[in-house]
Structure 1
């Protein structure tokens, strides 16, 4: 059987979710796939779980490497892949059984498409507990400039990965998929969303995305804006509007905090300490 799709599953400290993710791969009604499990130097039992799945079905492959981050792990897996199409899948997320059946033909039938994605369900603990449904829109890079509305788990042509030199391994704090989509689509490639819920994104209290949103949004945006400055300069007025919107939003949030009862109480409690601090400085 020929391999049309290479599913790349990086795993780092996610061994406890890996079984469910790989089961969703095995359950695919479309069969012409290989699944490369990339152990990104994970300190847990990723290796033993991966090897069990390789024994269950020969379409599962295992690659072990030193820890290098998500971009590095994806690139390593894609580097040994055989498929014409690539599907990244994080070790804690799940695919609907018809994911490949419905998405692969979109790329086969439309040579102008680089990427095809779908609607997504966000869940907690199990897929019966859906907390959010995402219905993204867009076909060109213009819809991706200021916000990534396409999931990292989207099907794309391997030659697009080759054209842009893979995922940017300098981006170790998230948003690497956003930058990757921009790099591809700014070359003129288009993408499409199949209007069916075929992907399940696990929402957890601690994840790489939560860490990124809490601590690295601004630095990641700056990196992407600078790396692809030519397209942001083309959209100069819109880019300025967006940046000033963010500034205004920040100030509004800051003023709201200062007017809150909690802030006023904390300010009163802290006042004696500030007085003592000033006296100590004068001495």
Structure 2
């Protein structure tokens, strides 16, 4: 069985070798690495070419910059493996685990998707933190994706939809035309849920082999632009619409929306940082999609929903601004940790409230 590892690359020359070595290190031999150089302007392309010369199982595709989604889609279409994995070029794998995943698939060749936990590396503080996931493999093994979602969201309401936290059958992706949505941030939250909703057989590998790098040089943080907030809200409104067309239990729809609605409240939370005209546009979108106020997962969600219904969105955003200011001055924060701020690993990626992406859009 051949495994294709797709690695989009954009201006990560400081971290790229570490990333590539973690894949080369894997003892499982029937693998390929597909590097998608998405218009890098640093030394990333030279490093990619160096590894292509050194290892025959590494291929390089150079393209004009088009963003993370487009790069991953190119990788899927060029992959020759039976199964596909994604790895961000400033992250890395920590252990020799690929042969374990292949063995799981050999034991049950009906498996379409295997996902696994991960850990965060805060490089400035040099600490590792395992993502808080409450999952027992015995509760999931061999079940379909909808059954798995019911279990996962029951015990992990703020489950993160990282595209790189699993291995997926390529024929399954092509059959269901599961490609990443271009032109949108938070692309993982628009893609990964479909793996569960479409899969007939899923498994779980309980080993946090993926290391998700935080606090890196050049990392995009605290980006509260209009496009970021609009794209964030799009995740919630998109799934609110899609889930009404699917034949799944209402209880699961509610669990999913309680998860996705974080993106709606995130837009409300940081609208105060926008210019006046842009803030008005976000408020207009919040009003248009006020049906989402029925869903909530955290204390902040409940507070924001109550205030929006009572005082309106404009005044609620003003109150949130005051609270954020107080939170910034407080050692422990106004409410402590919530789904949008401090779960640790969301400072770079699609579900996170601290930033939008580590890949050039």
TM-score by length of structure 2 reads: 0.61
**Aligned: 1:131 with 2:185:** no
- 8 Å CA contact 1:88, 1:152 repeated in 2: yes
Q: Which residue of 2 aligns with 1:151?
A: 162
Q: Which residue of 2 aligns with 1:267?
A: none
SS for the counterpart of 1:97 is coil
**Aligned: 1:231 with 2:212:** no
Shift, 1:200, TM fit: 1.0
Q: Which residue of 2 aligns with 1:48?
A: 46
- 8 Å CA contact 1:164, 1:184 repeated in 2: no
Q: Trace 1:70-89 onto structure 2 (pairs within 5 A).
A: 70-89=68-87
Shift, 1:188, TM fit: 4.1
Which of the numbers 165, 175, 179 marks the counterpart of 1:166?
A: 179
Q: Which residue of 2 aligns with 1:279?
A: none
Unaligned runs of 5+ in 1: 264-283
Shift, 1:101, TM fit: 1.7
Q: Which residue of 1 aligns with 2:95?
A: 97
Shift, 1:47, TM fit: 1.4
Q: Cα deviations across residues 15-40 of structure 1 (Å, max 9, x unaligned)?
A: 22111100111100111100011100
Q: Higher strand share goes to which structure?
A: 1
C-alpha distance in 2, partners of 1:115/1:109? 14
Q: Which residue of 1 aligns with 2:286?
A: none
SS for the counterpart of 1:196 is coil
TM-score by length of structure 1 reads: 0.76
Which of the numbers 237, 242, 245 marks the counterpart of 2:296?
A: 242
Which of the numbers 187, 191, 196 marks the counterpart of 1:185?
A: 196
Number of residues paired by the alignment? 257
RMSD value, Cα = 3.4
SS for the counterpart of 1:202 is strand
